[in-house]
Amino acid sequence: MITSRNERLAATGAHAAGILLSATFLGWVIPLVMYFANKEKSKFVAFHSMQAVLYQLVIAVVGLIAGIAVFITFGILWFLPIAVGMIGLLFGIVAAVQAFKGKTFMLPIAGDYARKIVRM
* pLDDT for res 56: 93
CA distance 37 to 83: 33
1: pLDDT confidence band, cut at 50, 70 and 90? low
Q: At what angle do helices 43-72 and 110-118 cross, to 10 degrees?
A: 150
* Closest residue by Cα to residue 111 from 52, 62, 60, 63: 52
The per-residue pLDDT for range 22-60, each reduced to its tens digit, is 877 788 999 999 999 999 999 999 999 999 999 999 999
Is the pLDDT assigned to residue 78 strictly greater than 70?
Answer: yes
Question: What is the rounded average pLDDT of the residues 1-26?
Answer: 89
CA distance 85 to 6: 29
Mean pLDDT score across all residues of the chain: 93
Report the C-alpha gap between 71 and 60 in whole angstroms: 17
pLDDT of 21 over the 90 cut: no
Per-residue pLDDT, 26: 83
CA dist., res. 77 & res. 81, Å (int):
8
